[in-house]
Amino acid sequence: MDAKATSVPATGARCAQHPETPASGLCDRCGAFVCFECELPWENRSYCPPCSHRVKGLFGGSWFSIFAAIAAFLSLGCGALGLVAIVLAAVDLARIAAGHGQRGGLKLDLIAIGLGVIGLAIGAAIVLRLASGEAPSFDP
């Protein structure tokens, strides 16, 4: 079936999540009626909120959240990247709060901030140890 044919709801149809609101489209996965507020586009298709979570999963975020997570992981070895990860994740969280970002990246952004802080702490500990004249020791 053509995706365009399923996107126009019948006259008088109401949103499945908001029965008082007229429907603006149909979910391409389950066929539920959705209003403009509920309709979540993803890869040229539209989904209702429950189906959107199933389709997108944890890594349904924007490139901001994906790059933030990568930078955060790398910051465990290079502390300065922790700051990059925190900034990218904060920008993505601001976009999500403003309604312009993809909510699927929320968890990834929070993970990136956490790992970024840990990476910065490791980097700061190494710099402080070097500044005090001690060589960094990796012995347990």
- pLDDT tens figures, 58-110: 456 778 888 999 999 999 988 889 999 999 999 999 988 888 777 778 888 99
Residue type, 24: S
Q: Among all chains, which residue has been given the structure tokens 């044919």?
A: 5
What is the reported pLDDT for 10? 64
Structural domain that includes position 44: 3-56
- Name which of 105, 106, 4, 101 is nearest 45 in CA terms: 4
Dist. CA 51–CA 37, nearest whole Å = 15
Together in a domain, 105 and 48: no
Taking all residues of the chain, what is their mean pLDDT, rounded to a whole number? 83
The total number of structural domains in the chain stands at 2
- Is residue 138 in a domain? no
Least confident interval from 43-47, 101-105, 110-114: 101-105
- Is residue 93 in a domain? yes
Together in a domain, 11 and 69: no
pTM of the predicted model, to two decimals? 0.55
Which positions ≥6 away from 61 have C-beta within 8 Å?
Answer: 92, 101, 102, 104, 105, 106, 108, 109
Torsion sign over Cα 37, 38, 41, 42: positive
DSSP symbol at 101: S
Where do the DSSP E strands lie in the chain? 25-26, 33-34, 40-42, 45-47
Together in a domain, 110 and 69: yes
